[in-house]
Amino acid sequence: MSEAKARRSDLRYRIGLNLRAVKGRSYPRIVGANREPSWIFFEAFLPLLGIAAYVFVYQFFGGQALAAITTKTTAAPWGMCGHDPCANAAAQAAAAAAVGANTNALVASVVLGGTMVAFWLNVLWSMASQLYWEKEIGNLQLYMMAPMNRMALLGGMAVGGMVMTSMRAISTLVAGVLVFGVIFQVASPLMLLAVFFATLIALYGLGMMFASLYLLWGREAWNLSALMEEPIFFSSGFYFPLGGLLRIPGWGPAIAIAGSFIPASLGLDALRQLTLGSTAFGSNFWIFDVTTELEILVGMAVLFLILARYCLAYLETLAKREGKLTSRHQ
């Protein structure tokens, strides 16, 4: 056996080679993306404009509800507690406190959803579309000729994307808390970290699967990424608790179930329960309990990683048969 074949068959060598491939593919996203300070500013703070629109709407609703409670009339000397007059001062104070808590929970939901938007956009544009872009600029054939596992290539893209986007998402979260005065109450930090990382692994596993499919579908990739922005923001509950859709008769549950196939939806639902308390919104807007959602996210992560491997293997088989994998503008 030649020395080259012996090295390729050595497990330790192959693991080291793939780890270097992961490091090399993640390096531009972690280090290179932070060399331009203006990018960090725009990507961390400009999303606050989109978040602010929803925050102001929810704060207006909260202000209107609070005004109805505190406004005294002849028929309701202690204001209105919902559809009925408040019985006394204690009932009025309790209703006002509930409005304040629900308004804070809605604003906090928007801030958490705004941070998750950064990860979803990174999955769409820096993961799913990446291999297609690499083919268009002529780099894909270099990746395919390199003696590494193709999953190491996708893994490096995912690791780099997670780290790069996490820094920007944390900046957006901190800015949102400082600007809008959101109050979080984290009861279980370890569970919070477990849900967060399970969500990211499942989300980027979906992105790895999409990367192969986008390369297979060709020029439709750009349209698909654009299509999966705003509709997914709505159906996955990025700016409101997804469980609210389940309470809408007719089309609401169908949209909520469809949106739940995106890992960010269940991840956000669990993160909101862990940071706002399971009793927020009167416990009416949650889909499942945190433990159940964590188990589903772990299952999604395993499933999407396996599907990503099979999609990539199918793509390689198709490329060998047709010889058009690296043909540009297709």
The per-residue pLDDT for range 252-305, each reduced to its tens digit, is: 889 988 889 999 999 999 999 999 887 777 778 888 999 999 999 999 999 999
Identify the pLDDT of residue 122: 84
Identify the pLDDT of residue 266: 93
**pTM listed for this prediction:** 0.87
Identify the pLDDT of residue 194: 94
Judged by DSSP in three states, 130 sits in helix
Judged by DSSP in three states, 81 sits in strand
Identify the pLDDT of residue 7: 59
pLDDT at 210 over 80: yes
pLDDT at 238 over 80: yes
Question: Which tokens belong to 324?
Answer: 């058009």
pLDDT at 174 over 80: yes
* E strand map for 8-94: 80-81, 84-85
CB 114 within 8 A of CB 168: no
Question: Which tokens belong to 81?
Answer: 């507690």
Query: Which of 227 and 60 is assigned the larger pLDDT?
Result: 60
Count of residues for the chain? 330
Per cent of the chain over pLDDT 70 is 93
What's the pLDDT band for 4 if we cut at 50, 70, 90? low
Judged by DSSP in three states, 306 sits in helix
Identify the pLDDT of residue 2: 59
Identify the pLDDT of residue 6: 57
CB 135 within 8 A of CB 326: yes
What's the pLDDT band for 251 if we cut at 50, 70, 90? confident
pLDDT at 221 over 70: no
pLDDT at 117 over 80: yes
Q: How far is CA 317 from the centre of its chain?
A: 31
Give the residue-averaged pLDDT of 106-122: 89
Place of tokens 């990367």: 211
Look at 70-79, 85-94, 178-187, 319-328 and tell me which has the smallest mean pLDDT: 319-328
